[in-house]
Chain A
């Protein structure tokens, strides 16, 4: 049996004490251990921001890219080597601001991988600027009079883009978080997991207490149908997105056993070259 510690490289995270990201890191490690993913086959790709550091704490293969580009890099890796379990992770700025186009198109492309957004509704690493999912009126040094616009709604965006798996989690509910991450990894397609991961230093509004008060969960709703697209939309609208659990899964668009590009031979025989030449 694998232990979650096997997936930790022991490096002490740069995160503030109490940061929600610790729980995401631990949950990912537990999920990997419970699914017994061979460490060499676990590929964690991350973006830039506090959350982006997560790949550097995994004792697996890890790639810390540039701001906003976590999804293209992760998709390239997965398409090259289908044996890998690919986890992309980043923050809400990384995924819904600078990388928003990649989020929409990554969802549409439905490559078999998992995308975890550690959503704290603020730019922690730049010391507290507003994010595309900050609430209207949210005051930060870049929005001293309060954020003017309505926040983006990642759950609805992903459904609109053709998501085949949508889940949300909360750093404060670790057991459920582990479960949704496991289900996301097991889903054969692009699984998007939006995790409320509070920033205890700069976001004094969306705190652990605030989430505990406002969040509901579909994990406890027996009659909730995860295959119901409109139901998932409705749930997100009713709860203003403040809901956890697996909200939607479409198994009809599952990716069948795809081959790894990596396995295809590089060198071609003379006859093959002549054939290609004749087709010019």
Chain B
């Protein structure tokens, strides 16, 4: 029996490729497999090639394999682009309505099997073209020998809200594919059998879990401007927040988005915005204001490739410098990087707590792969959800005879108590100007150094946190550290090399967990920072802040797709 299967389904955007892929992932998930779905798409609604890699494995992987067992081509581009991704003795499926376009030498050398399928024909005979996705799914599950009841269950689930008629129509199309007589299938064995797994999580993307995390953290307001690959956070909250008395506003731009959540958070409501690089550029002034006025906000950056408009649907981790240093002047901020899909949930809750405890912006630094890849998630633990709002004054505690409240009084930990508008006796001013303890702009003779220090020093306790999730063996002398979506592929690479190096995920990017990092850098001979950018941004930040220049090394990739497992392995081989 096969312990894993990986299929690439490709076609013209608008062909329902994504749906076919997700249904297939759901089928595999129902059979007890861990799944991972990775999208390749363009910024076009119709036309242009689109593909999804659907991976199912007995063990949880957190990234796809480097090569495909099956490529299913619903357009000629898919054949041309992706056939060479097939493994030796892999299978190419294509719609018989297409002209076969392959590199004969490759097919021969790799012993690729090719089967044409009457996908378009069956769709036309049994239903209509909108059901192409279900038809493709039918053929795919038939080729991989999956029992039809798993597939039917997924189809019923997918269409049940659209009524019995639609469900029946789709079942008919599905049956057409299942009944097709595969005389040519002889000798092909892609048998997938159900495996026993007690828990079967829903197949979702990281952005969904950021949304769920926000709801559970008590976030009740979002202002955002749609952008790839962050919009799903907004879509999730638009659907669910109103039920809990919350609201989502789609703003005119990202400037409005960040300033609106500064307003709502100042008034006492936990608030979030989500964007990608181009939006982050616009939000810099807002980050500065939130930090200066000590208003807690949570900002999601689902990073995409390149400066300017770049490659909107491609992956990169190149906003780091901007998130870390960006904005004029110097101001504190916290950056968290979810390394697994489940982290998207827990880190979002943590982000809201840290924002209120430290009264500054918290950035959830995601990336296209972390935000948009599909996985069936592990069970989430309700008991780990805590809401900690930091230092907040109650209205009844304010009746001390004075009307004004020293909102920005410096304290031992540099964190002042908050009040909200509407509270009696809590009057103070809030401004982006340098200000004294009651919030009013300072005069030239006032102490300006102390105000900067109050702000800049308050995050110091976070430097002592264990912000790196470590996976260690006793004798290893080399450490690989990834963050965000690079962690999954790093983990697989290291495992494939029998764990001859240690590895981990940097979860807290700013402030860096300097105490833990320093110990690690003292312990290991070499520490490789694995990241998807050209300049090795995090490696340079660590060198600048902690040192150990001679021990730090980079593994970089900036092709828009993330690392292959092979690339991780090659780097390990190079070092050991």
Q: A residues within 8 Å of B by Cβ?
A: 11, 39-41, 43, 45, 55-56, 59-66, 68-69, 71-81, 83-84, 101-102, 104-105, 109, 259, 261-268, 270, 273-274, 276-277, 279-280
Contacts and interface: CB of A to CB of B under 8 A. Distances in A.
Contact of A45 (B215, B253, B263, B424): B263
Given A261-B221, A261-B247, A266-B218, A80 B264 contact: yes
A64 B212 contact: no
A63 B263 CA distance: 9
Contact of A76 (B208, B221, B293): B221
28 contacts: A11-B440, A39-B427, A55-B429, A56-B431, A61-B428, A64-B433, A66-B259, A66-B285, A66-B286, A68-B255, A69-B255, A69-B285, A69-B289, A75-B263, A76-B259, A76-B263, A76-B271, A79-B263, A79-B264, A80-B266, A81-B421, A84-B421, A261-B269, A265-B245, A266-B218, A266-B220, A273-B385, A280-B202
Given A76-B264, A84-B422, A266 B387 contact: yes
B502 to A, nearest CB: 34
A77 B427 contact: no
A6 B248 CA distance: 36
A264 B215 CA distance: 12
B372 interface: no
B246 A43 contact: no
Contacts of B251: 72, 105
A74 B267 CA distance: 10
A79 B247 contact: yes
Interface residues of B, number: 63
B259 A77 contact: no
B233 to A, nearest CB: 14
B260 A72 contact: yes
B286 A276 contact: no
Nearest 6 pairs of A and B residues by beta carbon: A76-B263, A264-B245, A266-B218, A80-B267, A72-B259, A61-B421
Given A61-B421, A262-B268, 15 more contacts: A40-B424, A40-B425, A41-B422, A59-B403, A63-B266, A65-B432, A66-B289, A69-B255, A75-B260, A79-B221, A79-B264, A80-B263, A105-B256, A262-B269, A277-B202
Contacts of A71: 256
B406 interface: no
A267 B421 contact: no
B210 to A, nearest CB: 12
Nearest to A108: B252
B267 A264 contact: no
Nearest to A272: B244
A73 B259 contact: yes
B212 A76 contact: no
Contacts of B432: 64-66
A39 B380 CA distance: 45
Contact of A40 (B223, B421, B433): B421
Contacts of A61: 421-422, 426-428
Nearest to A55: B429
A83 B221 contact: no
B423 interface: yes
B216 A268 contact: yes
A38 B286 CA distance: 30
Contacts of B266: 63, 73, 76-77, 80
Nearest to B240: A276
A64 B194 CA distance: 61
Contacts of B244: 264-265, 268
A61 B430 CA distance: 8
B563 to A, nearest CB: 28
Contacts of A265: 218, 244-245
A74 B137 CA distance: 50
B252 A101 contact: yes
Contact of A267 (B218, B263, B264, B430): B218
A64 B431 contact: yes
A84 B420 CA distance: 11
B302 interface: no
Contacts of B271: 76, 80
A75 B252 CA distance: 13
Contacts of B377: 280
A162 to B, nearest CB: 14
Interface string B266-277: 111111000000
A268 to B, nearest CB: 6
B200 to A, nearest CB: 12
A155 to B, nearest CB: 21
A92 to B, nearest CB: 19
A80 B431 contact: no
A262 B421 CA distance: 11
Contacts of B223: 72, 76
B263 A72 contact: yes
Given A69-B286, A264-B245, A266-B220, A74 B440 contact: no
A267 B432 CA distance: 31
Given A65-B432, A268-B244, A277-B212, A83 B422 contact: yes
B441 interface: yes
A266 B253 CA distance: 27
Contacts of B255: 68-69, 72, 101-102
Given A79-B264, A262-B268, A266-B387, A280 B212 contact: yes
Tell which of A66, A259, A265 has the most Cβ of chain B within 10 Å: A66
Contacts of A43: 267, 421
B489 interface: no
A41 B427 CA distance: 11
A81 B267 contact: yes
Nearest to B385: A273
B249 interface: yes
A205 B212 CA distance: 57
Contacts of A104: 252
Nearest to A56: B429
A265 to B, nearest CB: 8
A128 B270 CA distance: 40
A74 B427 contact: no
A76 B430 contact: no
Tell which of B265, B286, B422 has the most Cβ of chain A within 10 Å: B422
A84 B240 contact: no
A276 B215 contact: yes
